[in-house]
Amino acid sequence: MKIYKTIADMRAASRTARYTGKRLGLVPTMGALHEGHLSLVRAARAKCDGVAVSIFVNPLQFGPSEDLAKYPRTFERDRELLEKEGVDILFAPTPEEMYPTGAVTYVTVEGLSEKLCGKSRPGHFRGVTTVVAKLFHIVEPDAAFFGQKDAAQATIIRRMVQDLNLPVEIAVCPIVREPDGLAMSSRNAYLSPQERKSALVLHRALTEVKNRFDQGERNAINLIAAGTQVLTQDPTVRLDYFEIVNPVTLDPVPELTSCALVAGAAFVGNTRLIDNILLP
């Protein structure tokens, strides 16, 4: 596996790969890798001739009071995991390399970026779309792989690619969960043993919504109430949002007549966790 820290080296390598007719897949990450990330790497492996993974804890997508400084950084372990998966290229730039002093240009997907997590994390999605657009220009992948875990992020990136005519195929892969149902996340590392138990309420709330749906309930207000009730049972959990939306527009749907995204976010202690399911 080749490791590149500069944009020039990364670009030269990807141009060479493409020049030799290889289809290149990119998996953008912030590191602290787990099975969720590795599932994207495997999907990229299956669909592409070469796989590049980026590890970059993107300062632009963290709010001033968020966890940028303490975000887990486990580069050596990540490198070993990616090596074992047969990844060809690891791109790991520094913040200075990605954002030279004086950079003032951003990519914003208007409207969508203010929904779901965008409501409580202003500027977050602008940070995501700006860095992903930059990564697409630097790596020039044929395809890029994202997780359904960050459902709004996937929707917003698809929209950016469509609106800016970027020549990248976007693949969205299913959520990988712990055996008890907790969605894997780099932020799970912050949880104390007690919080780890409480963290399951998000999955329980989504399961409750799915059960009611399977029993025939289609009214979004009733389904949200059922999920929210589960979420508010644990006093150590602080609800951020629990919504049922159209997966493309991210607008609330009143009745579940076609595919809907049930998405929730909650603070467990100081840790903000998200999870979602698609119905049906």
- Cis amide prior to 280 (ω within 30 degrees): yes
Q: With binding defined as CB under 6 A, does residue 131 bind ligand PAJ? A: yes
| Residue reference for tokens 């076609």 | 258
Residue window 141-160: x/- pattern of binding to ligand PAJ, with contact defined by CB under 6 A: -----xx-xx--x-------
Which of these is catalytic: 37, 124, 137, 203?
Answer: 37
Name the residue nearer to ligand PAJ (CB basis): 132 or 237.
132
Q: Which stretch binds ligand PAJ (CB under 6 A): 67-75, 76-84, 172-180, 226-234?
A: 172-180
Q: Which stretch binds ligand PAJ (CB under 6 A): 43-51, 180-188, 219-227, 265-273?
A: 180-188
* Distance in Å, CB of 217 to ligand PAJ, minimum: 27
Residue 234's nearest CA partner among 273, 267, 272, 193 is 267
The counts of H helices and E strands in the chain are 10, 9
- Sorted by sequence, the CB contacts under 8 Å of residue 141 that are 6+ apart come out as 14, 24, 25, 26, 52, 168
Q: With binding defined as CB under 6 A, does residue 40 bind ligand PAJ? A: yes
Q: With binding defined as CB under 6 A, does residue 132 bind ligand PAJ? A: yes
Q: Determine phi and psi for 159, rounding to 5 degrees.
A: -65, -40
Q: With binding defined as CB under 6 A, does residue 161 bind ligand PAJ? A: no
**Is-catalytic flag, 137?**
no
* Distance in Å, CB of 57 to ligand PAJ, minimum: 8
Residue 42: in which H helix or E strand, if any?
helix 35-47
Q: With binding defined as CB under 6 A, does residue 134 bind ligand PAJ? A: no
Q: How would DSSP label each residue in 171-229?
A: EEEPPPB-TTSPBP-GGGGG--HHHHHHTTHHHHHHHHHHHHHHTT--BHHHHHHHHHH
Could you list the residues that contact ligand PAJ (CB under 6 A)? 28-30, 36-37, 39-40, 58, 61, 128, 131-132, 146-147, 149-150, 153, 173, 175-176, 183-186
